[in-house]
Amino acid sequence: MSEKKPRIRVRGLTKIFGDEQHVALPLLQAGKNRDEVQKATGAVIGLQDVTFDVDEGEILVVMGLSGSGKSTCLRCINRLIEPTAGSVHIDDTDVTALGERDLMELRRTRFGMVFQQFALFPHRTIQRNVEYGLEVQGVPPAARRDKAMAAIETVGLKGWDQHFPSQLSGGMQQRAGLARALALDPDVLLMDEAFSALDPLIRRDMQQELVALQKRLKKTIVFVSHDLDEAIALGGRIVLMKDGRVVQQGTAADFLADPADEYVRRFVEHIDVLGVVTAGDAMRPPVAVRPWQSSADEALAILTQSGEPVVTVVCEMGRFQGTVDADTLRRAGATELRLLLSDRDACVPRSATLNEAVARLASGRGEIAVTGPDGELFGVIANADLIAALARRRVETAH
């Protein structure tokens, strides 16, 4: 996708819990499955051969149900859990090969972590909580106070810095948790079910704010979640895990369009299709297109032949200009199309979700254009196309 080198590379990560891991690992590598190994050795397989990349500046959601190994996977990245085999690289540093001291240094400078149950220190004020990472780095008090205050302001907790965690609501506590991670200005944020303990409404706000924050601060975020809607709201790639293995990675739309197996299919079954499928997925090539200097008569002929509700008008550069419907064309005779244009905004970008397309279609004349970044015409979606796209997903997910 991007030419940049990935910020984090996870390769063949395997975690076996229990004392028998050195017996269990060869069995696993010899191709025995999780249950067989567990029966033979008593060791529990937490992760098995997990491989993925995280690009710089992206939000990667590691998703799965409880027990799928997603949290274990996250903790292996900064080695809060020691992986049994495999490697984790952040840029050119092999995290899995670091000694204790170097690992400590790496955690202090490169990683910020946010926890499901917030894990704020109850005996410290919000300010002192947010300062914590800087404090262990040995940053002098004045400097760390400034940075902490800046982070507190970033997450919208200004004025609460002298309060204790127990005096804050859940949502505010997690803002403080986020501020504590941001204060270090780390490259990577590790977020473990960070919003799962919050009320649905607050959760949605926090998701939106995180996306906005990430656009501004360009952090690389690995976000663990069990909630597909959350993964979609965060809008990035998803690594779907089951029983300690990666089942599929890609965007939610990829999962819908081409599920790797029955499990993925069932996982995305109840997904809100309108929020995931893009206009680019649902569009078809335009049939009734005319440049804007052609006459209405000419356009009417094409329109009648095509059976489209409107003719789509483009300029010399191929950019979308607007639409003209059949009635107008009939009345206009030889007039140039450019003088007849209406519905100049009957278009959506290719990356827009069907939700936006539906809204446009509802206020237009039965067809909208799908455009690229410079307004160039890529395709069209008519009411029937939308219904067909939805029906296609339903059919796919029903089988």
Partner 1 sequence: MEFDIPHIPLAEWCDIALDWATEHFSGVTRAMSAVVGTAIETTTDFLVGLPPWLVIIACGLLVWRLTTWRIALGTVLGFAFLWNLELWRATLQSLVLVLVSTAFALAIGIPIGIAAALSKRFWRVVGPGLDMMQTMPSFVYLIPAIPFFGLGAVSACFATIVFAMPPTIRLTALGIMQTPPELVEAADAFGSSRWQKLFKIQLPLAIPTIMAGVNQTIMLALSMVVIAAMIGAGGLGGEVWRAIQRLEAGQGFQAGIAIVVLAVILDRITQHIARHMRRDRQQG
Contacting partner 1 (CB under 8 A), which of 49, 135, 254, 396?
Answer: 135
Q: Which stretch binds partner 1 (CB under 8 A): 112-120, 200-208, 263-271, 301-309?
A: 112-120
Residue whose CB is less far from partner 1, 94 or 105: 105
Residue 94 interacts with partner 1 (CB under 8 A)?
Answer: no
DSSP string, 222-285: EEEES-HHHHHHHTSEEEEEETTEEEEEE-HHHHHHS-SSHHHHHHTTTS-HHHHSBHHHH-B-
Q: E strands of the chain, at which residues? A: 8-17, 44-54, 59-63, 85-90, 93-94, 111-114, 188-192, 220-225, 237-242, 245-250, 289-291, 310-314, 320-325, 347-349, 367-371, 377-382
The 160-199 site mask, x for binding partner 1 (CB under 8 A), equals ----x-xx------------x---x-----x---------
Q: Which stretch binds partner 1 (CB under 8 A): 89-97, 121-129, 145-153, 300-308?
A: 121-129
Residue whose CB is less far from partner 1, 197 or 260: 197
Residue 159 interacts with partner 1 (CB under 8 A)?
Answer: no
Contacting partner 1 (CB under 8 A), which of 14, 78, 174, 220?
Answer: 78
Closest CA to 183 of 209, 145, 142, 141: 145
Q: How far is CA 170 from the centre of its chain?
A: 24
Residue whose CB is less far from partner 1, 39 or 123: 123
Residue 119 interacts with partner 1 (CB under 8 A)?
Answer: yes
Give the count of residues interacting with partner 1 (CB under 8 A).
29
Tokens 């069932």 sit on residue: 266
Residue whose CB is less far from partner 1, 109 or 305: 109
Residue 106 interacts with partner 1 (CB under 8 A)?
Answer: yes
Residue whose CB is less far from partner 1, 164 or 263: 164
Closest CA to 269 of 392, 398, 388, 355: 398
Residues lying near partner 1 in the complex (CB under 8 A): 78, 80, 104-109, 111, 113, 115, 117, 119-123, 125, 132-133, 135-137, 164, 166-167, 180, 184, 190
